[in-house]
Amino acid sequence: MDTNTIKPYSYIAETYSRFGITITRGSGTRLWDDKGRQYTDFTSGIAVCSLGHCNPHIVEAVKAQAERLFHVSNLYWTEPQLKVASLLVENSCADRVFFCNSGAEAVEAAIKLARKYGHDTRGPDCFEIITLQGSFHGRTLAAITATGQPVYQRGFEPLPPGFTHVPPNDIRALELAAGKRTAAVMVEPIQGEGGVRPLTDEFLQAARQTADQLGALLIFDEIQVGMGRTGSLFAYEQTPVEPDVICLAKGLAGGVPIGAMLAREEAMKHLGPGTHASTFGANPIACAAAGAVLEQLLETDILRQVREKGQYLMEGLRKLASRWDKVKEVRGRGMILGVEFKKAMPDLASWLMKEGFLVLVAQGLILRLLPPFIMEKEEIDRLLDALYRYKSSNP
Ligand SMILES: *Cc1c(COP(=O)(O)O)cnc(C)c1O
C-alpha cells in the first residue's frame, strides 16, 4: 500500500490526536519510523512494553504458542492460562483471577464483582462505588463514570448511576461519602493518567479501614502501576495495605492485549458460572506472553533495576528541577515519574520527539515518563541532556 498517495490515515476514526509519525519497528528501548528515524522510547507504549520492544523471551513464548494453539474459548482449560493465574495468585494477596482483554474490561469486571458482592452480602441498595477525583479507569461507560475527570464523561450522558468521587488523599471526604450503599472504594495507588499523583499511606489506610467497617471491597486499579512499574511486582506491596481486588492490564503481557481482575476468594466466589464472561479472555497467546513477562519479573533482577534506575532518573529530574524555575514538582516511584510544570508546555513532547525521544505529557502540564525497565543509565543521561537543552531555550 502506498501511504503517500492514498492517505490511509483518513480511514481511521479521529479519536486520538497523534504525533504524525508511523512506527514500523521496535527493539529494546528503541523504535524506528518509516523514514528510518530512531527514537528512544520513554513511554513503553503507555506502560505496556515494560520489558522492551520485541523482548526475545516474549517473542519466543508467543511464537511457540502460535504454533501450538491460538484459541479454544473458556469452555476448556488451557496451560498458559493456568500458569499465569497460578503465578499471579502465588505472588499476590489474591486467590483467583478473571481474565479479559484490556484495562477497561478489568475495571468493568471489578465493578460488576463489587455490585454482586454488595447485593449478595448487604442487599440491593448496596451498589455505590467511591472513586477519586483526577482518577482514570478506562473508556467503557461504567469506566468513564468511575473516572473522576468530567472531560471523559461529557456528551456521553446519561451515565450509569452508583458512582461518587472524592478528592484524593482527603480522608474526611472519603469517610463522609462512605455509607451503607458503599459496595467498594476503588483507587489507583499512584494516579497515572491524572499526572503521576501518589496516594498517601494514611489515605490508603483510611480507605482500607472504611471498607472493612462497612464490609465493602477495596479495589486497586494497578493497570498502569502494577507488573513491576513501581519496583515491586504489585504497587500495593509498597503501601501499608492489601486490596481485596486488583485490576491489571497494560504491562501484564508486554504488548499483547490482556486484562485481569484478581480478587480474594471471599469476594470472587460471588461471581459464579454465567455471571461474567469474555470470549477472548485468557487467550493462550496472550497468556503465553504474560507467562514470559512474569518469569522475567520474578526470576531475574529486573525489579531491582526498576528501583535503581528509577531512583537515578528521579535524582536527575530533581537536580534539573532545582535549576529550572518553571518546574513545580517531581513525583513518582520506580519507573513511573512525573515532572509538573507551573505552566503548560505544549511543545515539549514534539520538541523531544525531534530530538529522538518519545515521552508522554499529561494535561499539557506534566511530563510523564514510563520507560522500559531495561532503559540504560546512558539513555537516561541523554534524555536529561535534552531536557537541559530544552530548558536553555525555555529558561
Ligand atoms: C490505561 C488505564 C486503564 C484503561 O486501560 P485500557 O486497556 O486502555 O482499557 C484503566 N485504568 C488505569 C489506571 C489505566 O492506566
Q: What gap in Å lies between CA 126 and CA 115, rounded to an integer?
A: 7
- Could you tell me where in the chain the CATH 3.90.1150.10 domains are found? 301-366
What is the chain's mean pLDDT, rounded? 97
Residue 330 pLDDT greater than 90, yes or no: yes
The finding on whether 127 has its CB within 6 A of some atom of ligand 1 is no
Mean predicted confidence (pLDDT) in 304-324: 98
Instruction: Using pLDDT thresholds of 50, 70 and 90, give the confidence band for residue 166.
Output: very high
- What CATH topology corresponds to 57-299? Aspartate Aminotransferase; domain 2 (3.40.640)
Q: Quote the ligand 1 centre to 335 CA distance (angstroms).
A: 17
The finding on whether 134 has its CB within 6 A of some atom of ligand 1 is no
Q: Quote the ligand 1 centre to 138 CA distance (angstroms).
A: 5
Judge whether 7 counts as a catalytic residue: no
Mean predicted confidence (pLDDT) in 47-59: 98
Q: Quote the ligand 1 centre to 222 CA distance (angstroms).
A: 9
Distance, CA of 284 to chain centre:
22
CB contact set of 81 (below 8 Å; sequence gap of 6+): 99, 282, 284, 287
Query: Which pLDDT score, from 0 to 100, does residue 395 have?
Result: 78
User: pLDDT for 185-220, tens place per residue?
Assistant: 999 999 999 999 999 999 999 999 999 999 999 999
Residue 328 pLDDT greater than 80, yes or no: yes
The finding on whether 136 has its CB within 6 A of some atom of ligand 1 is yes
Query: Which pLDDT score, from 0 to 100, does residue 363 have?
Result: 85
User: pLDDT for 80-94, tens place per residue?
Assistant: 999 999 999 999 999
Instruction: Using pLDDT thresholds of 50, 70 and 90, give the confidence band for residue 4.
Output: low
- Could you tell me where in the chain the CATH 3.40.640.10 domains are found? 57-299
H-only helix segments in the chain = 3-6, 44-47, 56-68, 79-90, 103-122, 141-146, 171-177, 201-214, 265-268, 284-299, 302-322, 348-354, 377-393
Mean predicted confidence (pLDDT) in 260-277: 98
The finding on whether 102 has its CB within 6 A of some atom of ligand 1 is yes
Cell 514534539 -> residue = 350
Mean predicted confidence (pLDDT) in 55-66: 98
Residue 343 pLDDT greater than 60, yes or no: yes
CATH code for the structural domain at 301-366: 3.90.1150.10
Element (H, E) at 333: strand 327-333
Query: Which pLDDT score, from 0 to 100, does residue 2 have?
Result: 53
Using an 8 Å Cβ cutoff, are 187 and 219 in contact? yes
| pTM assigned to the model | 0.97
Instruction: Using pLDDT thresholds of 50, 70 and 90, give the confidence band for residue 6.
Output: low
Cβ atoms < 10 Å from Cβ of 231:
23
User: pLDDT for 121-136, tens place per residue?
Assistant: 999 999 999 999 999 9
Using an 8 Å Cβ cutoff, are 130 and 164 in contact? yes
